[in-house]
Amino acid sequence: MMTQPTVIVMTATVDPGDYAADIARRDLEVRKADYRNALQFYLGLEDPRICGVVFCENSGADLSFLRAETLRRGAERPLELIGFCGNRRPSGLHYGYSELGVIDHACRHSRLLGSGDRFFKATGRLTFERISALMDRLPDDCRFGADFRRAYSKEGGAPMRARTELMFFHKAFYLEHFFERRDRMIDSPVLFEEFVPQVILPIRGRAETGALALRWPIECGATGYAARDNSDYNSGAIRTKRRIRAFARRAAPWLWI
């Protein structure tokens, strides 16, 4: 069970800019509402282990839409807003290149991360309503956590993928293995979901690495809408997939789906 203070780092891109054509959920007011609702959820989450929320946005957007002062008044925890212009990626690369840049920026500039050593990275438009239950099941010495799956038959490339919407890092682990290393995605362009296993799998099992959770012990699905196709994470089809995955975690833990 995790017991130590943990920060939520919400990664955000309010204005997709040149990449708007790549996604369906591109309306700026819709995206702003997604981020505002998610921020309100994390600020009000009743879990004393969550010691702060960092909202880090990379399109240089005006963050006054978050109504941060109003949210802070009823908040259970500190809030830090960080904005910068960094929504650029080399041609042909996945959006994850920019997202890693958001986490890097938060590690450099966040006061809350500067005083803490553990954080969840959450895609900022989404919420994870079972995050406290997940923390109850992860070991206190966890250094990294994500939900890995096997590549689907129609997918090429790497055999393992990580669901990157929610990941856990001990800050020292992130700094050692991910910080300022996103350019490794350039030479042989890979999806963010493939890049994470490329980093993690070779170091799995090393004593000095510490505890790595490559499969969530419970199903911890997102609530919200996928940017790529605007699909609802609470649709009937996705709920059915989650029930199957939840059953597999108990009955067939070797079946990573």
Task: State how beta strands 142-150 and 118-123 pair.
Answer: unpaired
pLDDT in tens, 123-139: 999 999 999 999 999 99
Q: Are 13 and 98 within 8 A, CB to CB?
A: yes
> What pLDDT is attached to residue 240?
93
CA distances from 202 to 86, 199, 209 (A): 30, 7, 11
Q: Are 21 and 15 within 8 A, CB to CB?
A: no
Average pLDDT value for the chain: 92
> What pLDDT is attached to residue 85?
95
> What pLDDT is attached to residue 257?
86
DSSP one-letter code for 201: G
CA distances from 189 to 11, 92, 94, 126 (A): 22, 7, 8, 26
pLDDT tens over the chain, length 257 residues: 999 999 999 999 999 988 888 889 999 999 999 999 999 999 999 999 999 999 999 999 999 999 877 777 767 789 999 999 999 888 878 788 999 999 999 999 999 999 889 999 999 999 999 999 999 999 999 999 999 999 887 777 778 899 999 999 999 999 999 999 999 998 877 889 999 999 999 998 876 777 999 999 999 999 999 998 999 999 999 999 999 999 989 888 888 88
> What pLDDT is attached to residue 207?
67
Determine whether 205 is exposed, middle or buried from the number of CB atoms within 10 Å of its CB (0-12, 13-18, 19+): exposed
- Provide CATH code, domain 6-251: 3.90.550.10
